[in-house]
A and B are shown apart, each in its own frame.
Chain A
Amino acid sequence: MTADAADLTGDLRRLLADLTGDPAALGAPPDTPLLRDGLGLDSLGGMILLTEIKRRYGVDIADEDLNLDSLASIGTLAAYVSARTADPGRPR
């Protein structure tokens, strides 16, 4: 994992811990689901998460990812954001 990817994952973990009010997100394995039985992120928390990701990284998941597959786990979310911030010049 590159330093940037590790930073990104760490930032996302802190954001998730804030939103769920539970520090479990800081140490949970990357395949931990975000919704439901995983970190217990609810719909409102999910919306705040997507708003904050758009503000911080310019990645509009709500607009691009209809199925919200990127919210499957900490790892899928980090990979999604990372892939879209790696090359800001890529055509959309």
Chain B
Amino acid sequence: MIKCVIWDLDNTLLDGVYLESGDRPPAVSTALGQVLRDLAGRGILHAIASRNPAEAGEYAEQATGHAFAAIECGWGAKSAAIEAIMAELGLTADAVAFVDDDALERAEVSFRLPGVLVLAPQELPEAAGWPLFGPPAVTDEARRRGELYLQRRARREEARAYGGSREDFLRYCRTRVTIAGAGAADLPRLHELSVRTHQFNSTGSEVREEEFARLLGSADHLVATVSLADRFGDDGLVGACVIATGPGGWQVRLLMMSCRALGRGVIDALLVWIRRAAHASGSDHVAVSCVINPRNVPLRIALAAAGFRARAADQGDGAPRTAVYRWPAGAALPDLPDWVTVLA
């Protein structure tokens, strides 16, 4: 699923070459400006990778009336600019489309970043109709996605300037993580997270709303949501987990989190809460089954950092490779950070 379109400016988003246009910079391409607005309305982000001075990016923001989630103007390789944008926004290559009129630039990006969808400007209007670019936004979080990434930009700029520890910075931002039982109103967002999350997703497969509804009604399952806010803005529902709470211990069937919550203490808080809630219900056995794929490495790093230990799970032929992460017996029960609120 494409989450971000990265635009070249000269003869792509702009009808002309910025530095060769004298006092009157080129206008925004009518057709592509329309595609940009349409995709933004579906919750897709926009960014700029252009061989131009920084003013060109500012001009493009002014001319389109769109606040871009990231802007890389400079003279290096386009693939390097795209990698910087992916790191800034927490995206993997297969969530990115790149549009450029220059065939050589497109070839360079295709070669260096084979996962990126590379398009010529004339191909974009049709490509925007492909399922890869997603359906119209259905949830509040999806509609506000562009705004949320702008808040993220502001937060990262402050984090760079801030000298203290990560915990201090989260407090300084007045981070609030809220863990609550899921309700029927959360179903569309839970489904959306199951489709859109990859780096922090323990199963890597879509879960339909009907299935979440069934789990909500099941006495043997717990569906919990995690919401996030700080003084930069309210991110809404950014993560969730599904836990089978049988007598043999707690089995975490699904753990997922939006990558925009990365680095903000959310997954750590959720893992501590699961441990403590299991303990409170009389079980110290907590197991998280997690598929092993190249995309969910961040989740596996978070599990390892939280003290969970893995072993390969038995599986049938053709089943995805899976490991079960367990909390070691006898390990101390961690405290919940003070910025986490638990609603019963």
Q: What is the interface of chain A, defined by CB distance below 8 A to chain B? A: 21, 35-37, 40, 42-44, 46-48, 50, 62-63, 66-69, 71
- Cross-interface CB contact of B297 among A35, A36, A46, A67, cutoff 8 Å: A46
- Cross-interface CB contact of B301 among A37, A40, A68, cutoff 8 Å: A68
Known A21-B160, A66-B292, A66-B323; judge A43-B301 contact (CB<8 A).
Answer: yes
Q: What is the interface of chain B, defined by CB distance below 8 A to chain A? A: 87, 90, 160, 165-166, 199-200, 259, 262-263, 267, 292, 294, 297-302, 304-305, 309-312, 323
Q: A83 CA to B297 CA in the complex, in Å?
A: 22
Q: How many A-B residue pairs have CB under 8 A?
A: 58
Which residue of B is nearest A69, CB measured? B304
B263 touches A68 (CB 8 A): no
A43 touches B263 (CB 8 A): yes
Q: A6 CA to B165 CA in the complex, in Å?
A: 30
- Cross-interface CB contact of A62 among B297, B302, B311, cutoff 8 Å: B297
Q: A34 CA to B209 CA in the complex, in Å?
A: 39
Chain B residues with CB under 8 A of A44: 87, 90, 199, 259, 262-263, 298
Q: A69 CA to B304 CA in the complex, in Å?
A: 8
B262 touches A42 (CB 8 A): yes
Known A36-B305, A66-B312, A66-B323; judge A47-B263 contact (CB<8 A).
Answer: no
- Extra contacts, 14 of them, besides A35-B304, A40-B166, A42-B262 (Cβ < 8 A), are A35-B301, A36-B305, A43-B298, A43-B299, A43-B302, A44-B87, A44-B199, A44-B259, A47-B298, A50-B297, A62-B300, A63-B292, A66-B300, A71-B301
B304 touches A67 (CB 8 A): yes
Known A43-B262, A50-B297; judge A67-B309 contact (CB<8 A).
Answer: yes
Chain B residues with CB under 8 A of A68: 300-301, 304
Known A66-B310, A66-B312; judge A46-B292 contact (CB<8 A).
Answer: no
